[in-house]
Amino acid sequence: MVTIAPRKKEYSMKNETAAKIGSLQEAFAHMQGAELKKLAEQLQLPTKTFNKGELIKRLMHYAVTEKVVEPLQIPAISRAQKNTQYPLHKDTLMLFGSYKNDLKTRIFFKALIGDHFHFTAQEIDWLREQWLKGNPPTYEAFTKEWQAEYERNKKEKREPKQEWAYIRFTQRYIKTKPCASKKEITNSWKIEQTKQKDFALEQFKDLIKD
pLDDT (tens digit per residue) in 12-58 = 445 667 778 889 999 999 999 999 999 999 989 998 887 888 999 99
Dihedral pair phi/psi, residue 93, rounded to 5°: -75, 140
- On whether both 82 and 66 belong to a single domain, the answer is no
Has residue 11 got a pLDDT over 70? no
Cα separation of 174 and 182, whole Å?
10
| 3-class SS of residue 163 | coil
- At 210 the pLDDT is 60
Same domain, 91 and 134: yes
Same domain, 44 and 58: yes
In a domain, 6, yes or no: no
Is 146 in the same domain as 82? Answer: yes
Encode pLDDT of 138-177 as tens digits: 999 999 999 999 998 888 777 778 888 998 999 999 999 9
Determine, yes or no, domain membership for 167: no
Both 100 and 122 in one domain: the answer is yes
> Contact, 15 vs 7, CB < 8 A?
no
Over residues 98-135, the pLDDT tens digits come to 999 999 999 999 999 999 999 988 899 899 999 999 99
Closest listed residue to residue 158, CA positions, set 110, 121, 115, 113: 121
Question: Considering its fold, how many domains does the chain have in total?
Answer: 2
81 and 60 co-located in one domain = no
- Bridge partners, residue 205, by sequence: none
- What is the pLDDT, as a whole number, of residue 12? 45
pLDDT at res. 176:
94
Per the domain annotation, does 186 fall within a domain?
no
Can you tell me the distance from the alpha carbon of 49 to that of 70, in angstroms, rounded to the nearest whole number? 10
d(CA 193, CA 99): 31
The pLDDT score that the predictor gives to residue 49 is 81
Is the whole-model pTM more than 0.85?
Answer: no
Give the integer Cα–Cα distance in Å for 174 and 169. 9
> Does 61 lie in the same domain as 93?
no
Tell me how far apart the alpha carbons of residues 157 and 135 are, in angstroms, rounded to a whole number.
27
| Residue 142 falls inside a structural domain | yes
63 and 99 within one domain: no
Please indicate, yes or no, if residue 161 is contained in any of the structural domains.
Answer: no
Same domain, 85 and 113: yes
Asked whether residue 173 is domain-assigned, the answer is no
Residue 58 lies in a domain: yes
Same domain, 90 and 144: yes
Question: Are residues 54 and 85 both part of a single domain?
Answer: no
- Please check whether residues 65 and 94 belong to one and the same domain: no
| C-alpha span between 67 and 60 (Å, rounded) | 10
Distance CA 74, CA 78 (A): 7
- Find the domain containing 58 and state its range: 14-72+194-209
DSSP 3-state of 66: coil
7 in a structural domain: no
Q: Residue 48 CB: number of other CB atoms within 10 A?
A: 12
List the one residue out of 61, 50, 49, 1 whose CA is nearest residue 25. 61
